[in-house]
């Protein structure tokens, strides 16, 4: 005879404690419902003991650092530790002032600015160079995106691409950020730290690449699908990129900075998406982050107007759900509070007399295909040329339009 778990006197019936069943605790049968209720106060202590033991076992086997254990993650993504060692930058490469500081502190950025810097022609040329190099590094890193690759492996690719161009990866040791690129997956809004988690089919991933070259920084990012993704995620990516593009298109001398946010939200709000308010675009040149602050949401009170010679980023972070966020206990990773996905795109732009030049896109010029088509004698090729327009070649001269080559989409 099996005795009742509660009174320990009567024979147990088939009435089993549902909590014990969930916790895989065998043999918790009671003689009747009244006995179960009467003994609940003492019986539930068993559940607590088992749960504590299970948590302790998980903690012992966890790769997470102690600071992150017990954190209530907002979504399904989990970091995979340990992180790889800090990647080295050869001594001959010029470094920003924070690169070797023990706290990653920039003395230059600590000096309070009262106005927005107007760049000289020489400084503008330096920005064109570093921004072109930044685009090259982003494209190289993005080309490696596929299911199975880890974000740490992508960080290694990005780091090496920077070194190959005699550039310092700006994120490395900036306020003690441990890696060379920010990689943000799914519900991570920004500042994701590359780790050992492999990307999986259906993820979305943002690469935020920044370079320091000959005293100046370049900064851009884009969100990519990992293999085939669901339509909701694709809509989020497409809408975020469109919002950035249209915000850039309105930029010209005399336009208030706050109009950027008004334009972005006019595109994202009808879709039911939200705009992150916590993080902004920023000025950039010899300083990594400086004035002006560029808010991406509507109806802000942000003062100031655009002037010729100013350089800043536009980088909206758009969420499927709430705009509210939380941070993992790693000092960096920002995640959506509801665990739903987030996307971001970023370009660095220069305000010109005619509008805005996108410094982080490699400009293109048109060439004449008529001779090529005539020589080939291929009717199909000629027809394709007529339907697709002229081919483009990359050159190093700027264009004052946001309608140049778009960010490529990575495929598996």
- The domain segmentation of the chain, as residue ranges, is 15-61, 107-358
User: What separation in angstroms does the CA of 269 have from each of 98, 236, 307?
Assistant: 38, 12, 29
Would you give per-residue pLDDT tens digits along the chain (412 residues)? 788 988 888 888 989 898 888 778 888 898 999 998 889 888 888 888 777 665 555 555 478 888 898 899 999 999 999 999 999 999 999 999 999 999 999 999 999 888 999 999 999 999 999 999 999 999 999 999 999 999 999 999 999 999 999 999 999 999 999 999 999 999 999 999 999 999 999 999 999 999 999 999 999 999 999 999 999 999 999 999 999 999 999 999 999 999 999 999 999 999 999 999 999 999 999 999 999 999 999 999 999 999 999 999 999 999 999 999 999 999 999 999 999 999 999 999 999 999 999 999 987 765 555 444 444 333 333 332 323 333 333 323 333 333 333 333 333 3
Binding residues: 191, 208, 219, 282, 289, 315, 346
Give the per-residue pLDDT at 55: 58
Look at residue 409 in the predicted model and tell me its pLDDT. 35
pLDDT at 23: 79
Residue 97's CB: how many other CB atoms inside 10 A?
A: 14
Binding site for a protein, by residue number, is 191, 289
pLDDT of residue 367: 53
CA distance 45 to 35: 16
Binding site residues for Zn(2+), as ranges? 208, 219, 282, 315, 346
* Residue 283, token pair as written in the block: 């000025």
d(CA 77, CA 143): 23
Structure tokens at 116: 């927005």
pLDDT of residue 195: 98
- Give pLDDT, residue 399: 33
pLDDT of residue 365: 66
What crossing angle do the helices spanning 151-164 and 121-142 adopt, rounded to 10°?
140
CB neighbours of residue 308 within 10 Å: 14
How high is the pLDDT of residue 391? 36
| Residue found under tokens 């946001």 | 402
For residues 248 and 266, what is the distance between their CA atoms, to the nearest angstrom? 14
Its pTM stands at: 0.77
Structure confidence at residue 77 (pLDDT): 97
What fold does the segment set 107-358 form as a domain? Creatine Amidinohydrolase (3.90.230)
pLDDT of residue 54: 58
What is the predicted pLDDT for the residue at 25?
A: 84
Compute the distance between CA of residue 346 and CA of residue 360 in angstroms, rounded to an integer: 9
Per-residue model confidence (pLDDT) at position 403: 33
Q: 29 is written with which tokens?
A: 């049968």
């Amino acid at each position: 005879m099996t005795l009742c778990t509660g009174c320990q006197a009567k024979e147990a019936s088939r009435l089993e404690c549902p909590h014990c069943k969930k916790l895989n605790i065998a043999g918790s049968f009671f003689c009747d419902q009244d006995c179960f209720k009467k003994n609940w106060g003492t019986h539930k202590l068993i559940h607590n003991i088992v749960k504590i033991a299970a948590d302790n076992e998980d903690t012992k086997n966890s790769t997470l650092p102690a600071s992150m254990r017990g954190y209530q993650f907002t979504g399904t993504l989990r970091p995979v530790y340990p992180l790889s060692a800090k990647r080295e930058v050869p001594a001959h490469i010029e470094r920003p002032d924070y690169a070797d500081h023990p706290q990653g502190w920039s003395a230059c950025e600590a000096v309070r600015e009262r106005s927005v810097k107007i760049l000289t022609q020489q400084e503008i040329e330096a920005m064109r160079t570093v921004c072109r190099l930044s685009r090259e590094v982003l494209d190289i890193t993005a080309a490696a995106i596929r299911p199975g690759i880890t974000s740490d492996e992508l960080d290694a690719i990005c780091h090496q691409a920077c070194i190959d161009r005699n550039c310092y990866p700006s994120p490395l040791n900036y306020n003690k950020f441990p890696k060379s690129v920010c990689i943000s997956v799914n519900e991570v809004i920004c500042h994701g730290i590359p780790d050992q988690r492999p990307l999986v089919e259906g993820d979305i991933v943002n690469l935020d690449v920044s370079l320091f070259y000959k005293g100046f920084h370049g900064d851009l990012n884009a969100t990519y699908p990992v293999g085939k993704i669901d339509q909701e995620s694709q809509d989020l990516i497409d809408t975020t990129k469109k919002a950035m593009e249209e915000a850039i298109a309105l930029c010209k001398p005399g336009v208030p900075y706050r109009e950027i946010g008004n334009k972005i939200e006019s595109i994202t709000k009808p879709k039911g998406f939200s705009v992150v308010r916590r993080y902004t675009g920023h000025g950039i040149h010899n300083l990594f982050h400086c004035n002006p602050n560029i808010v991406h949401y509507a109806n802000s009170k942000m003062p100031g107007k655009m002037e010729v010679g100013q350089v800043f980023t536009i980088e909206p972070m758009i969420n499927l759900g709430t705009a509210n966020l939380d941070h993992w206990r790693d000092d960096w990773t920002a995640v959506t509070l509801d665990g739903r996905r987030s996307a971001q795109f970023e370009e660095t732009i220069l305000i010109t007399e005619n509008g805005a030049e996108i410094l982080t896109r490699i400009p293109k010029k048109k060439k004449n295909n008529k001779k090529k088509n005539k020589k080939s004698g291929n009717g199909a090729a000629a027809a394709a040329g007529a339907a697709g327009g002229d081919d483009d070649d990359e050159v190093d001269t700027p264009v004052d339009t946001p309608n140049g080559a778009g960010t490529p989409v990575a495929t598996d």
